[in-house]
Amino acid sequence: MFNKFRKGHKPLSTEYTKEEVLQHPIPEHVAIIMDGNGRWAKKRSLPRIAGHYEGMQVVRKITRFANELGIKVLTLYAFSTENWKRPKQEVDYLMKLPEQFLTTFLPELIEENVNVRVIGNRDQLPEHTRRAVEKAMEETKHNTGLILNFALNYGSRRELTYAMQEIAKQVAKGQLAPEEITEDVIASYLMTKDLKDPDLLIRTSGEIRLSNFMLWQLAYTEFWFTDVLWPDFTEQHLLQAVAEFQQRGRRFGGV
Ligand code: IPE
Ligand code: IPE
Ligand code: MG
């Protein structure tokens, strides 16, 4: 709607080709809040877990396409620290998904030089879930292609709380002076310490909120929201998000 009238910009409804998008700089780090699996299932009178299964297939498709586009880091919000509140049956299923995903797709990911990583607290995951993700991380740790970073049992406030505790311990021991706590020091205590901040954040399903996702890291990220439910998300939607990102003027506070 709005973009349609901005000078030189294609209307939002425009279809973009990969070739077109590849003519301009590609966001290096794309983060996605994959939302709407439950509503997708409900619309079809299916149990919510059917939506999660379908969502997993989309993760595979979008990972492959992100790699083709030359995106360097793809962070996917898969399970938040608040998602434990859901019915046990749903949580149990969500905890089986990483295993299912990795058992099915790990050989392909290795073949495609993908480096699997996880942010979030792994200690609280069921043993079988933790083993699956750690195996994938181990087997892909030397891969130099796309970094596929799952946010699993991740919550930004918990991440920041933990960072503050660790920094406070350093100060208490006399190993760090309060004035030495810089932005870089704080960033180095976050789970994303080896990654640059996201350039582009996508959230599906029409919700316009962050739901405790990467509060520090998203300070200057471009946001792209869509009503599309995650299981309906396609390569074309990613192209649209990237194309619109390419049309934004990022100023980082400058002029
Ligand atoms: C996103 O879909 C997946 C997770 C949060 C695990 P939802 O399960 O939140 O689906 P909706 O938002 O209820 O439709
Ligand atoms: C955010 O989605 C978490 C993930 C996508 C994993 P939610 O569905 O949990 O978020 P709210 O509850 O709508 O804010
Ligand atoms: Mg949701």
103-115: pLDDT as tens digits? 999 999 999 999 9
Whole-model pTM: value is 0.95
Closest of 123, 143, 144 to residue 134, by C-alpha: 123
Ligand 3 center from residue 37 Cα (angstroms): 7
SS3 category, 163: helix
Residue nearest to atom 11 of ligand 2 (CA): 211
- The 10 Å CB-count burial string (b at 16+, else e) for 144-153 is eebbbbbbbb
Distance in angstroms (rounded) separating the CA atoms of residues 114 and 233: 21
User: Is the CB–ligand 2 distance for residue 207 below 6 Å?
Assistant: yes
Instruction: Pick the residue whose CA is nearest to atom 6 on ligand 1.
Output: 79
Cβ of 78 less than 6 Å from ligand 2? yes
Q: For residue range 33-86, list pLDDT tens digits in order.
A: 999 999 999 999 999 999 999 999 999 999 999 999 999 999 999 999 999 999
* Beta-carbon contacts of residue 47 (< 8 Å; ≥ 6 apart): 41
- What's the mean per-residue pLDDT of the chain? 95
Ligand 1: distance of its center to the CA of 62 in Å? 17
Amino acid identity, position 24: H
Ligand 2 within 6 A of CB of 79: yes
Q: Which of 189, 194, 154, 161 is nearest to 72 (CA)?
A: 194
Q: Does any ligand 2 atom lie closer than 6 A to the CB of residue 50?
A: no
| Ligand 1: centre distance to CA 89 (Å) | 14
Q: Looking at the predicted structure, is the pLDDT value of residue 7 above 70? A: no
Note the helical H segments in the chain. 18-21, 37-43, 48-69, 88-111, 127-139, 156-172, 183-188, 235-246
